[in-house]
Amino acid sequence: MPRLLSPSQGWLFSPGVDLSVFAGSALVSVAFVFAAPWLGAVGDTPLWAWVLFVVCVDVAHVWSTLFRTYLDTAELRRRPGLYLGAPLAAYVAGVSAYLVSSRAFWTLFAYVALTHFVRQQYGWVALYGRKARASTFERRLDAAAIYAATLGPAVWWHANLPRDFWWFVEGDFLSGLPRGAGSVALAVHAVVLAAWVAFQARRVARGEGVQVGKVLLVVATWVAWFGGIVLAQDDFAFTVMNVVLHGVPYFALLFRYARGRRAEGRYGVGGLLLRAGLPGFLLFLIVLALLEEGLWDWLVWHEKAPLFGVATVDLPEDVLALVVPLLALPQATHYVLDAFIWKPGREPALLNRLGWTSAAGAGAPEGPPSSTLPLSTMAIPGGSE
């Protein structure tokens, strides 16, 4: 009888956590989309869903980077230039773009976000391959599958503008791509994914089995991107499919790291916040996310009066050129820092804190010691709000 499971699973966290944060996230997203008519969530995202998915997942996951960076006094002393320079560079770039036009700012921000979302999914699948000692061919095929699952729908989206939803604001993505390019993109994406499925079936037929976590990650990525972009008919479906699979695994990564860092001692403020465990970790992030979104609404959007009250501030455009990039700074800094803070080649203790090595080195991810964690390792990995 063919073997269904690979002898070397190489779970990133544990079977339960991996299945929950990847497959579970996709299932929850799909369930909410199917339940939308009964939830009164067809069309625009209702306020309760915006709070749950945008504030409590998307914006809060951005703030979770604090536990890897600014809440750790030892980390701040280790690389002060990075932690001062990253927000400064992001703010200067944001103001410069906004001075060109507000649309230029949001277009730049949208593509940075899109890049981050794609690269984060690649990072997870690449780490699965590294931990399971996958062959070079298999790792390349896995990467092709992830890029097909994400970029295929993204290109199709560009070829079918306008849609009933946008990444940040209306008109942020550039239009003008021929519709035929979208069809070609989906055809290529189908061929690549079919080849990946055939390879997994071949592994089973040869008795090698499949790496369950990785397979479910690729499937979940395709479900979220194809369902959230190509099949989605409204902003609610796009929002739910877009943010859950992106934010929930990142929470798991940061909480795992913070817990490992606290065990070393001298963690600073991060250690104090973790005394309340996962509930305290999440509550702290949600409070920060609500404060951020309150400022956005009071100063810029004026759309969430039932939650934040009626805003009377009406800033002129030249002031907005300074305020909008400032409000976007937590997210922009998150993008930039992600290019530097997940590289164990420069910080060997990182893998221990994540629980991927032991004192004796057992259980370490396979690959050369100088290799980097491929989680959002582009210069501007990105997120969405």
Q: What is the SS3 string spanning 155-177?
A: HHHHHCCCCCCCCCCCCCCCCCC
Do residues 285 and 247 lie in contact, with contact meaning Cβ atoms separated by under 8 Å?
A: no
**What's the mean pLDDT when you consider all of the chain?**
88
Give the model's pLDDT for residue 2: 54
Do residues 158 and 250 lie in contact, with contact meaning Cβ atoms separated by under 8 Å?
A: no
Do residues 249 and 217 lie in contact, with contact meaning Cβ atoms separated by under 8 Å?
A: no
Give the model's pLDDT for residue 281: 96
pLDDT band (50, 70, 90) for residue 313: confident
| H runs (alpha helix) in the chain | 15-18, 25-39, 47-49, 60-63, 73-78, 80-100, 102-131, 136-159, 179-205, 212-225, 235-264, 269-273, 277-296, 305-308, 317-327, 329-337, 349-353
Give the model's pLDDT for residue 375: 44
Residue 362 pLDDT greater than 80, yes or no: no
Do residues 325 and 335 lie in contact, with contact meaning Cβ atoms separated by under 8 Å?
A: no
Give the model's pLDDT for residue 366: 39
- For 5, the 3-state DSSP assignment is strand
Residue 171 pLDDT greater than 50, yes or no: yes
User: Of 189, 191, 196, 195, which Cα lies nearest the Cα of 154?
Assistant: 189
User: Of 329, 343, 384, which Cα lies nearest the Cα of 116?
Assistant: 384
Instruction: State if pTM tops 0.75.
Output: yes
Q: What value does the mean pLDDT take over residues 109-128?
A: 92
First to last CA, the chain: 48
CA 159 vs CA 144, 154, 183, 198, 295: distances in Å: 21, 9, 8, 29, 34
Note the pLDDT tens digit of each residue in 10-51. Answer: 788 889 999 999 999 999 999 999 999 999 999 899 999 999
Residue 379 pLDDT greater than 50, yes or no: no
Dmax over CA atoms of the chain, in Å, equals 70
* Tokens of residue 376, six digits: 């959002």
Note the pLDDT tens digit of each residue in 79-100. Answer: 999 999 999 999 999 999 999 9
Which residue type does 370 have?
S
